[in-house]
Amino acid sequence: MLLSFSPFLQNPLSPPSPKNPNPGPRPPNSHQILHLSTNGDEPTYQTERGLRFETEGAFFRHESATGRDLGVLSASLYRRSRQQLRVLDAMCGCGVRSLRYLAEAGADFVVANDANDYHRRVILSNLKSVDRGCGESKRWVVTHFDANRILSECYLNSDFYDLIDVDSFGSDSSFLRTVFNAIKRGGLLYLTSTDGYSSGGHRPYNTLAAYGAFIRPMPYSNEVGLRMVIGGAVREASAQGYHVTPLFSYYSYHGPVFRVMLTVNRGTLPENKDYGFISYCNQCGNSQSYSWEELGQISCPCSNTIGSRSLVVSGPLWIGPLHDATHLTEMLNLAEQWGWVGNDTGTDLEKLLLQMLDESDPRLPSGYIKLDEVASRAKINSPPLKVMMSAMHKEGYAASRSHIASNAIKTNCPMMDCIRIAKELQGC
Ligand SMILES: C[S@@+](CC[C@H](N)C(=O)[O-])C[C@H]1O[C@@H](n2cnc3c(N)ncnc32)[C@H](O)[C@@H]1O
């Protein structure tokens, strides 16, 4: 049951006023016990981009630093263009993102929320560090609500956010019902899913039940995973009178993790032409995208039709661009300005952003072609990626690396021509 706050109580999310320094009533389901280190150990500290914070007992993964970097870059660009940034970090763990949105993106106000109030001491300690120990700040508040509840409260209190970060365990889909009503027009939604199993297409009916999309095994299932996350947001946004546009989409094999940054705007799109289906033909290796209107025409150049076992179809999912090239360029410029290019979080951010920019070429279709698959179909050794790409470019095809798979090419070159080019390169 959804509990709403009494109108006589302060909205738990509003910053404390000088008259009422208390950030709000404690949630009915939480308690005041602060769990300090029980074994007498010193708190464990981590450092990310020069910021020091505690993680004791809370969920924290160093491997997610790149995802946090990308989020902070987008948030900072938003802050610069809109002159304001109110963030709801709906599942903050130890509060590292909240800390980074405050310290690096210049957020004006952050709600650091995590259902688990066991983390309270750690989150408070981390956020206090942003004010250099000056005590409770007007710039942030720590809460311990279920994410769906806090998102619903935002709507009921007309308390809207410029950026909502949903960093859930597993699928993000159970938070999509409530999240749109808590976002400002033109605001940002940063979604994360760690459900790599569903995008693999091994249990399509389970995926259909959970996501409303029927997903079959395809060689580029990790890109399908990103398209599933965006597609879920497209569907739910549309049902609630909004539409979303991806700014960037990021897959990391640490997890695996699927992250997408979306802008949310009011109004459904009349056609939703980027929400459709992808087919993959196991016989010839070609993929194609289809709108809803084209559903009855699904077939393959090798004359496989939908009834055949080897032609599989996944969807509905996002079949449009994974990134906004202008936004990526701005992120790259900002990363350079901040001295963030280089390898200090384990991922070369410059290389990643450049790869994502290459992937933004509008001529490139959904999916990618793995060179192992080309080699196996051509019955030759796997061709070198750079040589293969350059040969494709010479023939006028669009071709780019994929940030998702190191030995794969995103291209509009049909598999038949990939095989021919690979053979020619090896003198076959
Ligand atoms: C993946 S972790 C978040 C990590 C954090 N954002 C970071 O970058 O380090 C997920 C967090 O969500 C919290 N959580 C799980 N279910 C939740 C829910 N329904 N509402 C709010 N928080 C939830 C967990 O306690 C956990 O700390």
Quick one: how many helices (H) and strands (E) in the chain? 13, 15
Sign of CA dihedral 144, 183, 353, 393: positive
Taking CA 319 as the corner, what is the angle to CA 313 and CA 264, rounded to the nearest 5 degrees? 135
Give the nearest ligand 1 atom to 93 CA.
Answer: 27
Fill in the amino acid letter for 408.
Answer: A
Distance 409 CA to ligand 1 centre (A): 34
Do residues 133 and 252 share a domain?
A: yes
CA 361 to chain centre: 20
Q: How far is the CA of 115 from the centre of ligand 1 (A)?
A: 7
Q: Clarify whether residues 270 and 402 are in a common domain.
A: no
**Residue 295 falls inside a structural domain:** no
Strand order in the sheet with 140-143: 140-143, 109-113, 86-89, 161-167, 183-193, 257-266, 242-252
CA distance 194 to 171: 6
Domain assignment present for 161: yes
Residue 262 sits in the same domain as residue 380: no
Domain assignment present for residue 341? The answer is no
What is the domain count for the chain? Answer: 2
CA of 274 to the centre of ligand 1 (A): 30
Query: Of 275, 295, 310, at which residue does a domain stop?
Result: 275
**In this predicted structure, what is the pLDDT of residue 27?**
30
ipTM of this complex: 0.99
Q: What is the pTM of this model?
A: 0.89
What number of CA atoms fall less than 13 Å from residue 267's CA on the CB side? 5
Which is the closest atom of ligand 1 to the Cα of 92?
A: 6
pLDDT at residue 35 in the model: 33
Q: Which atom of ligand 1 is nearest the CA belonging to 175? A: 19
Q: Supply the angle between the helices 120-128 and 96-103 in degrees, to the nearest 10.
A: 20
Of 29, 46, 59, the residue with max ligand 1 atoms within 8 A of its CB, to mutate for a pocket test, comes to 59
- Of the candidates 248, 275, 302, which is a domain's last residue? 275
Domain CATH code at residue 381: 3.30.56.70
| 50 and 144 assigned to the same domain | yes
Which residue among 54, 72, 91, 94 has the greatest number of ligand 1 atoms within 8 angstroms of its CB, and so is best to mutate?
Answer: 91
Q: Nearest CA to 67 among 225, 249, 196?
A: 249
Same domain, 134 and 239: yes
Q: How many CA atoms lie within 13 A of 27 on its CB side?
A: 21
- Residue 289's nearest CA partner among 279, 299, 274, 301 is 279
Q: How far is the CA of 94 from the centre of ligand 1 (A)?
A: 9
Give the closest residue (by CA) to ligand 1 atom 19.
146
**Given this model, what pLDDT does residue 11 score?**
43
Structure tokens at 227: 């398209």
Cα(277) to ligand 1 centroid in Å equals 32
Q: Residue holding tokens 């989409």?
A: 249
Handedness of CA 201, 203, 209, 210 (dihedral sign): negative
Beta-bridge partners for 54: 45
Would you say the C-alpha torsion 19, 23, 26, 31 has a positive or negative sign? negative
For a ligand 1 pocket test, name from 66, 92, 173 the mutation site with the most ligand atoms within 8 angstroms of its C-beta.
92
Q: Which domain holds residue 390?
A: 352-428
**Domain contains 82:** yes
Are 251 and 102 members of one domain?
A: yes
Give the three-state DSSP class for 376. helix
Same structural domain, 271 and 356: no
Q: Which DSSP symbol is given to 175?
A: G
Q: What is the DSSP string of 78-145?
A: HHHHHS--EEEETT-TTTHHHHHHHHTS--SEEEEE-S-GGGHHHHHHHHHGGGTT--S-SSEEEE--
The verdict on 155 and 267 lying in the same domain is: yes
Task: List the residue whose alpha carbon is closest to atom 8 of ligand 1.
Answer: 97
Cα-based angle 171, 173, 177 (whole degrees, multiple of 5): 155
State which H helix or E strand residue 188 sits in.
strand 183-193
| Backbone φ/ψ region at 275: left (φ over 0), alpha (ψ -120 to 50), beta | beta
275, 300, 335 - which closes a domain = 275
Residue with the smallest CA separation from ligand 1 atom 10 is 168
Q: Are 154 and 160 in contact (CB under 8 A)?
A: yes
Q: Take residue 172 and report the two structure tokens written for it.
A: 């993000």
pLDDT tens for the chain, 428 residues long, are 333 333 323 344 544 333 333 333 333 232 222 333 444 556 778 999 999 999 988 999 999 999 999 999 999 999 999 999 999 999 999 999 999 999 999 999 999 999 999 989 999 999 998 876 555 568 999 999 999 999 999 999 999 999 999 999 999 999 999 999 999 999 999 999 998 888 899 899 999 988 899 999 999 999 999 999 999 999 999 999 999 999 999 999 888 999 999 999 999 877 778 999 999 999 999 999 999 999 888 888 776 565 566 889 999 999 999 999 999 999 999 999 999 987 666 668 999 999 999 999 999 999 999 999 999 999 999 999 999 999 999 999 999 999 999 999 999 999 999 999 999 998 87
Whether residues 359 and 237 fall in one domain: no
Angle (deg, nearest 10), helices 65-82 and 325-337? 100
The pLDDT of residue 21 is: 35
| Any domain includes 255 | yes
The answer to whether residue 227 sits within a structural domain is yes
**Residue of 169, 177, 195, 250 with the most ligand 1 atoms within 8 Å of its CB, for mutation:** 169
**Position 230 in a domain:** yes
- Beta-carbon contacts of 155 under 8 Å, excluding residues fewer than 6 positions away, are 178, 181, 182
51 and 181 assigned to the same domain: yes
Residues 6 or more apart whose Cβ sits within 8 Å of residue 50: none
Residue that has been written with the tokens 């599989």 in this structure: 312
Pocket of ligand 1 (CB under 6 A): 58-60, 64, 68, 91-93, 96-97, 114-116, 146-147, 167, 169
CATH of the domain at 192: 3.40.50.150
Whether residues 365 and 249 fall in one domain: no
From ligand 1's centre to the CA of 33, what distance in Å? 20
Residue 304 located in a structural domain: no
Tell how far CA 359 is from the center of its chain. 16
Cβ atoms within 10 Å of 345's Cβ, excluding its own: 18
Judgement on whether residues 104 and 238 belong to the same structural domain of the protein = yes
